[in-house]
């Protein structure tokens, strides 16, 4: 049983009423009743609606949405909305925007568009999660928290590159151990300073979108590092939610067999499946 307030197998899915007019939503609710839907995941991509600038939060639409669904017998899986950062954030703080495999700084757009090692993204993601927890912690409709959405996508920016070196130090301890683990004598890859290590992408070791690499050791570890970085961002939000709502479970959604993330590590008790 996930939550004793609805002690059954839940029936529902993602719902984005903010993308539709009032009449369409009314018809949706009518059909929800006919279908027996009892849980809806809302607020997945609504960060731009919830936070219009650095210091202004407006949850009016979300208040109305939750109340309307609840009055119609639908409980809430409440997302933190951090799956897509707002345009104002991308404009004012370029560090939130990912650098892609080809070394290009991404512009605003899409949805999986945030660097997990951006100090700006981490600050504002944690902050909005806390705002939501403070606001809805006692609402009877909220059964579970849903952090971000379908984690994935890699970043190759300077912040990631620096964080990768820290990750390597934690994993191997010394540069000599890195050289040994990666067999860096192959093709003259021996490193003598930590800042000689750069992210493996289309500008360095890899080609065809990362499907091929000249140097397997660094490519494998960079994937482990990126998976850990995304998991760390998840935990950042999870921990602030648990601080305010210790009795509400926290989870996220993952994508079937997705080798870009280490699902075994994500599934550990201190990973994304921690529900306590």
pLDDT in tens, 178-194: 999 999 999 999 999 99
Residue 274 has pLDDT above 50, yes or no: no
**Which of 95, 126, 76 has its CA nearest to residue 234?**
126
For residue 209, is it within any domain? no
Q: Any idea which of 12-21, 93-102, 109-118 has the lowest mean pLDDT?
A: 109-118
Q: Is 80 exceeded by the pLDDT of residue 275? A: no
Instruction: Look at residue 96 and tell me if it is in a domain.
Output: yes
Residue 45 lies in a domain: yes
The residue with tokens 């609805």 is 6
The domain that contains 151 carries what CATH number?
A: 3.20.20.80
Average pLDDT value for residue range 214-234: 95
The pTM assigned to this predicted structure is 0.93
Residue 19 phi, psi (nearest 5):
-90, 0
> Which is it for strands 206-207 and 212-213: parallel, antiparallel or unpaired?
antiparallel
Domain total of the chain = 1
- Closest listed residue to residue 87, CA positions, set 117, 107, 64: 107
State both tokens at 73: 């017998």
208/238: higher pLDDT: 238
| Residue 142 three-state SS | strand
Structure tokens given for 237: 């939000």
Contact criterion met (CB below 8 Å) for 229 and 160 = yes
Q: Which domain holds residue 126?
A: 12-155+230-266
Across residues 40-68, what is the average pLDDT?
97
Residue-level pLDDT at 256: 83
Residue 269: is its pLDDT beyond 80?
no
d(C-alpha 100, C-alpha 85), whole Å: 17
Tokens (6 digits) for 263:
């699902």
């Amino acid at each position: 049983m996930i939550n004793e307030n609805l002690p059954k197998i839940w029936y529902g899915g993602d719902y984005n009423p903010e993308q539709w007019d009032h009449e369409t939503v009314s018809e949706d609710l009518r059909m929800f009743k006919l279908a027996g839907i009892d849980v809806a995941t809302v607020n997945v991509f609504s960060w731009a609606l919830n936070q219009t600038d650095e210091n202004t939060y407006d949850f009016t639409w979300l208040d109305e949405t939750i109340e309307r669904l609840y009055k119609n017998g639908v409980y809430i899986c409440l997302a933190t909305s951090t799956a897509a950062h707002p345009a104002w954030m991308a404009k004012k703080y370029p560090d939130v925007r990912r650098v892609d495999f080809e070394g290009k700084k991404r512009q605003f757009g899409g949805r999986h568009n945030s660097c997990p090692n951006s100090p700006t993204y981490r600050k504002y993601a944690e902050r909005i999660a806390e705002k939501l927890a403070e606001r809805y912690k006692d609402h009877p409709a909220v059964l579970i928290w849903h952090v971000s959405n379908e984690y994935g996508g890699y970043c190759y920016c300077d912040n990631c590159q620096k964080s990768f070196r820290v990750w390597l130090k934690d994993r191997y301890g010394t540069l000599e151990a890195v050289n040994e683990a990666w067999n860096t004598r192959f093709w003259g890859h021996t490193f003598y300073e930590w800042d000689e290590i750069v992210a493996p992408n289309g500008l360095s070791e890899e080609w065809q979108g990362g499907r091929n690499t000249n140097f397997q050791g660094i490519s494998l570890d960079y994937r482990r590092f990126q998976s850990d970085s995304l998991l760390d961002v998840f935990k950042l939000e999870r921990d602030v939610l648990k601080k305010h709502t210790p009795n509400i479970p926290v989870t996220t959604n993952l994508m079937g067999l997705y080798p870009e993330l280490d699902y075994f590590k994500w599934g550990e008790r201190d990973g994304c499946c921690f529900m306590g």
